Amino acid sequence: MPDIFDVMARRRSVRRYSSEEVSEEDLNLILEAACSAPSAGNLQAYEIVVIRDRERRVGLAKASLNQMFMAQAPVHLVFLAYPERSAAIYGRRGARLYSLQDATIAATFAMLAAHALGYGTCWVGAFRDQDVLRIVEAPRNRIPVAIITVGKPEGLEHTTPRLKMGSFVFEEIHGRPFNHITVMRKLIRPGC
């Protein structure tokens, strides 16, 4: 299995999937990874809906501004923030921020685990919230944060360049560029 730095460097957004299914064992590993993500107060103020039904996947693709590539992926993981769970301890900040952070960190862990297992993923964040809630039959007080498509990639996705670290990483104060040396493997995307 690749190390974490290889996983991060090689992960790409995949928008073409083969017809191969995601095994139950691998799906469970991906979900366990998501659930191991850090969360504010360890509240895990999110829920995950696993979608395998073709009709629901097509519905989610349509709800995602007609990103029909999504329907090819055999699994969709819908991450929902659960604001009330976080608000019980952290009040308004928990509801408005921490629950969203919890869901996004869990989604990121799921993506990295899927990649480590040989699957491709794509983070989909452009969608109509109410349509997503209706399709997954979730309560109206949940907030859809991300739909992660999961499946075996078909073909290679191109590398996307990244911003240079000096343009957004600062040392001590905002605006003072962080003086870094490149230590990650040569697999890193251009720009970092």
Where do the DSSP E strands lie in the chain?
46-51, 75-81, 120-124, 143-151
Per-residue pLDDT of the chain (192 residues; tens, 9 = 90+): 678 888 888 889 999 999 999 999 999 999 999 999 999 999 999 999 999 999 999 999 999 999 999 999 999 999 999 999 999 999 999 999 999 999 999 999 999 999 999 999 999 999 999 999 999 999 999 999 999 999 999 987 677 787 888 788 888 999 988 887 665 555 455 555
Question: Of 147, 142, 130, 37, whose CA–CA distance to 87 is shortest?
Answer: 142
Q: Give the pLDDT score at 192.
A: 52
61, two tokens: 């693709």
Q: Give the pLDDT score at 117.
A: 97
Give dist(CA 171, CA 168) in Å, integer.
10
Domain ranges of the chain: 12-156, 159-192
- On whether the 12-156 domain is CATH 3.30.1490.20, my answer is no
Q: Give the pLDDT score at 53.
A: 98
Q: Mention every residue, 6+ apart, whose C-beta is less than 8 A from residue 189.
A: 9, 159, 160, 161, 162
Q: Give the pLDDT score at 64.
A: 98
